[in-house]
Amino acid sequence: MENSRLVACAQCGATNRISAEKVAGGHEPVCGRCKAPLSVASASGPVTVTDNTFAAEVERSPVPVLVDMWAPWCGPCRMIAPMLEELATEMASRLRIAKVNIDDNPATAARFAVRSIPTLLVMKGGQEIDRMVGVVPKVELKARLERLLARGATASG
């Protein structure tokens, strides 16, 4: 399933694979375990990740993940949010975008030694392969992501 996303159920935490084509066709996905409705927004845009869902959403993702470490009070974080929404749509089949609110998820922020926000981490196979701190122009960020994806995203650049 090339155009699918892994989405954690808000009710039971189970990871569900959602077909982007089915969502675009009007299908409303439900959790395979508890049958609760799954957020369609998570299937088409950035997914919200917590300390509890980081492993399922990021580390076990079948595609590389751009993780936005942010906070609601951070002006630069709010500045780049629309750009990340656009990239989530433009690169949906090759890259996921996840957002981690560092105020609500201090364990994940500490694990990756996030000292300034926004911090953008590129993860593949559970490993950090690139990091950008501060506001990055969309054209520069997209070019950097394209380079990482083109070379198999195996080394930090």
Active site members: 74, 77
Which positions ≥6 away from 35 have C-beta within 8 Å?
none
Q: Give Cα separations from 22 to 65, 97, 129 (angstroms).
A: 22, 20, 31
**CA 154 to CA 149: how far, in whole Å?**
9
Neighbours of 122 (CB within 10 A): 22
Place of tokens 């992501």: 145
User: Helix or strand or coil: residue 68?
Assistant: strand
Which positions ≥6 away from 139 have C-beta within 8 Å?
none
DSSP 55: I
